[in-house]
Amino acid sequence: MRSNPALLMHPFLRWFAALWLFWFGQAAMAGAFVDAGRPTPAAWQAVQVLADAGAEGLLPQDYDAQTLSSAVASAAQGPALDDLAAATLDKALTTALRRYLTDLHAGRIDPRQVQANFSVSPSQPFDSDAALQAALSTPHLAEALRAAAPRVPLYAHLRSALAHYRTLADHPAWATPLPPLPGKRKLEPGQTWSGLPVLAQRLGVLGDLPELAAPGPGAATIGTDTTYGVALQNGVKAFQQRHGLASDGVLGKGTLAALEVTPARRAQQITLAMEQLRWTPLQSGPRMVVVNVPEFMLRAYEVRDGVPVVALTMKVIVGRSVKTHTPLFDEPMRFIEFSPYWNVPPSIARSETVPRLRRDSAYFVQQGFEFVDGSGQATTSLTEEHLNAVLNGQMRLRQRPGPPNALGDIKFVFPNHSNIYLHHTPSTQLFARERRDFSHGCIRVEEPAALARFVLQDDPAWTPERIREAMGRGQSHTVRLPQPVPVVLAYSTTVVKNDQLHFYADIYGHDLRLEQALRRNTLTRQAQRKIP
């Protein structure tokens, strides 16, 4: 018999259907972990999963892993549980697994607590009850539960890296600090230093000195040498390259500080990256653009044969670490503006541009500025009256298209409340720096023409030649994208590239905030479980 859609729309029937589905789900799971007063195989698998939560960068104590493990062992060895005790244990395991699944899939905190304003797609809600029921229907519960984790290669790489770094937690290479550097606090090729044997040991353990991984006569020499030779320099260069440092082989203050970070601390950094990945929006369309702020890199992804692959990679410049952070959020890119105007933000006009123009009137003409009033009329007359009007909010400063324009020759627009966008820059020399936090918040891209081609590829009329011609025309022209492209401004200080683990500085302190939020979250959960 076919159902009547009109009846299903009745509010009472919708409520009844939801209630029936809820209780049906509860009944389907009831008794899954205790049968005839004894724990089932699923119960043993469940407590093992909870005990191994650390492998996923989670905390076993958040799920009462030890208490539940003891309860299951006791139920297996002692008298059979009565109905009430069986139901209590069954419910406790179910509740813990639900929490575990939700944490594994979506993270333990609201990302807004750490200034990450990511949207959650309502079309892809996560149902921990449904996930648990599905897992219980399989013979391999642990494997089925792990399917709730982010299904991207990066997560699997981070999980493996976490396990490896935890094996190094008590390695003797970090038992004592490295000695002070000689002379000018910088070790250069050919110099001697008493810390070289320990340096070699650490580089070997971390995989940056492969010669020590295969012991031989050469390895013995490297491991005991007190002169900073070529082999050790190459090891330091490899280490520097993996830690966002200038790969010059010179052992200075920054490199020494990175070498002093213990594997246990790096393991904690990996768990934060896994947590961030859980609530960072993942591929939801044929293309997307992701900027990883602390890495100063942009990656453009597209789906090929059902698999997201990196189609484009480039350096970026992001907001300063001191006071002009690039915010974290996701929005669809909808427009490209060729040869754009730059409307100077009021805060920059007040603190920088107007004072500069009062000191140096020639700067106004050199940079191609103009004043624009409330009706949109522009004037190129530099007067004290116009400068005061800018400070009072009655006029705004605008920079015309051209070589000096702060936005370069192209601007990628994804409308947002923070007025953040991607754009080119006339200061291309800054892309050669290892650390690139120089902007007022917007993101400057190294290869704008390639990015434009990526987002405009649905329109064959936009050839590379036409894109470059539009960029160099000097006349502002806005193009609406045929299909909006999601843009994600993300934050992860741990990245896997070419099967190598890379670490970056926590330039905005987001890792520290996340670590503190997770600690508060654990304490809150512990307090809630103590309430009768």
Domains identified in the chain and CATH numbers: 22-154 (no CATH), 172-261 (1.10.101.10), 282-341+402-491 (2.40.440.10)
> In Å, how far are 28, 71, 143, 145, 215 from 40, measured between CA atoms?
15, 13, 17, 17, 49
Q: Between helices 448-455 and 464-472, what is the axis angle to 10°?
A: 120
Which has the closest alpha carbon to 99: 52, 63, 57? 63
Beta strand 287-292 with 477-490: parallel, antiparallel or unpaired? parallel
* pLDDT for res 523: 93
Local structure of residue 325 (DSSP, 8 states): P
Q: Between helices 128-136 and 83-106, what is the axis angle to 10°?
A: 110
Torsion sign (Cα): 104, 107, 109, 110: negative
SS3 at position 84: helix
SS3 at position 189: coil
User: Token pair 């990679």 is at which residue?
Assistant: 313
Chain-centre distance for alpha carbon 378: 42
> In Å, how far are 117, 162, 296, 320, 486 from 417, measured between CA atoms?
11, 37, 22, 19, 16
**What is the maximum span of the chain, computed from C-alpha positions, in angstroms?**
93
DSSP alpha helix (H) spans, 416-507:
448-455, 464-472
Beta strand 443-445 with 369-373: parallel, antiparallel or unpaired? unpaired
Whole-structure pTM value:
0.88
Q: How many CB atoms lie within 10 A of CB 489?
A: 27
Q: Which distant-in-sequence residues (6+ apart) come within 8 Å of 227 by Cβ?
A: 190, 191, 192, 196
Measured distance CA(332)–CA(463) in Å, rounded:
22
Tokens representing 530? 């103590």
Local structure of residue 350 (DSSP, 8 states): I
Q: Running along the chain, 532 residues long, what does each successive block of 10 average in pLDDT?
A: 35 35 45 91 96 97 96 92 94 96 95 87 74 92 92 93 96 94 84 93 94 59 77 96 95 95 98 96 88 98 89 97 94 96 93 95 95 94 95 95 94 95 96 96 97 94 95 94 95 95 97 96 86 50
DSSP alpha helix (H) spans, 147-252:
153-167, 196-206, 217-224, 230-242
* pLDDT for res 526: 87
Tokens representing 409? 């020759």
Measured distance CA(145)–CA(55) in Å, rounded:
13
